[in-house]
Amino acid sequence: MMRTQIRLTVNGVEHELWIRNDRTLLDALHDDLGRPDVRYGCNEGVCGTCTVLVDGRPASACLTYAVQAEGREITTLHGFADPTDDLHPLQRCFLERGASQCGFCTPGMMLTAAALAERAPDADRDDIRYELVGNLCRCTGYTAIVDAVEAWVRDGAPDTSDDVEEPREASA
C-alpha cells in the first residue's frame, strides 16, 4: 500500500504524518495522533460516533481518507472545548440532564449540535432532532440529549440553581 506524507491541522495544531493511503481520518486521529475524543463506531458513516468538524462542518471521520483531509481545519471535541478549561456550557447541559450515559456517542453528538447552533441559533426541538438524526445513541433514548441541546441553544447555559431541575413545560 502506498504511503503519503501529509500535514493535518487538528484543533489548530499542525501534525505531519507518513500514512498509508487507505487509512481513514478516524484511523489517523484516534490511532496515529492518539485522540480519545474521536471514536470508532461503525466505519459506515451511519452512527456519527466519529464525527469531527471539517472546516466547521460535521463529517464522519470514518468516511474520509486521511489524505483527503490535508489542508482542512479539523476540529475534534477537544478543539471545541478544551479539557483543561472549565466545562463548556454545552457540556454542562449534557452533564446536568444525564444526556451522556456511557458517553461513547457524546463527542460526536456535541459537535453536530455545535455546528447546528452556529448555523441556526434559533433552532427548535424539531430542528435539533432533525440535525442529530445521524448521531446514534443506544443509552439515553435521545430525550435528554435533545433537552440538553435545546437548553444550550436557548439559554447558552443550564440553570445551575439546583441539582435536580424543574419539570419541563408541556410541549404537546
Partner 1 sequence: MTEPTTRPDKGKRVKTDSREEYSVVGTSPGHHDFVDKVRGTLLYAADWKLPGMVFGKVVRSEVASGRIVAIDVEEAERLDGVVAVLTAADVPHNAVVEHASGGLGEVTVEQPVLASNRVRYVGEPIAVVAAVDQETADEAADLIRVEYEHLDGVYSPEEALADGAPLVHDAGNVLVNWQLQRGDLDEAFAKADVVVEDVYRTQHVEHAYLETEAGVAWIENDVVTLRVSTQVIEHATEIARILGLPDSRVRVIASYMGGGFGGKEDMTVEPYLALLTWHTRRPVRMVWTRQESILASTKRHPFTMRYRTGADRDGRIVAMDVDIVGDAGAYPCLSARVLFAGAALSTGPYKVPVLRARSRAVFTNNVPTSAFRGFGAMQVVLGYESQLDALADAVGVSREEIRDRNYVEKGDVVASGEPITTAVAVTETRQRALARLGEQSAPSGPGKAVGQGFANSMQPYGRTIWFRDHAAAWVTLQSDGTLLIRSGVTDLGAGQAASLCQIASEVLGVGLDDISVYIGDTALNPPAGGTFATRQLYMSGNAILRASHALRDQLAPVAATLLDAEPDELRWKDGKVATSSDGSVTLADVARACQDAGVDTSVLHTWRAPAGRFDPEVGQGGTFPDYTFGTHAAEVEVDLETGVVRLTKYAACHDVGRAINPVRVHGQIQGGAAQGIGYALSEDCPSVEGNPVSTLFANYLIPSTMDIPDLWVDIVESGEGRGPLGARGIGEPPIGPPAATIASAVEAAIGRRPTQLPITPERVLALLTDPPVNEEDR
**Residues 45 to 74 in contact with partner 1, rule: CB under 8 A:** 46-47, 49
Which grid cell is 64?
Answer: 474520509
Q: H or E stretch including 77?
A: helix 77-80
Q: Does 150 contact partner 1 by CB under 8 A?
A: no
User: Nearest distance from residue 16's CB to partner 1, in Å?
Assistant: 19
User: Nearest distance from residue 9's CB to partner 1, in Å?
Assistant: 19
Kindly report the number of other CB atoms within 10 A of residue 108's CB atom. 29
Q: For the sheet with 51-54, list strands across it.
A: 13-20, 3-10, 73-75, 51-54, 57-60
Q: Of 3-11, 52-60, 63-71, 159-167, which part binds partner 1 (CB under 8 A)? A: 159-167
Which grid cell is 124?
Answer: 427548535
Angle between helices 143-155 and 106-119 (to 10 degrees): 40
Q: Does 13 contact partner 1 by CB under 8 A?
A: no
Q: Which of residues 109-148 bind partner 1 (CB under 8 A)?
A: 110, 125, 128-130, 132-147
Q: Which of residues 71-100 bind partner 1 (CB under 8 A)?
A: 76-78, 81, 83, 87, 91-92, 94-98, 100
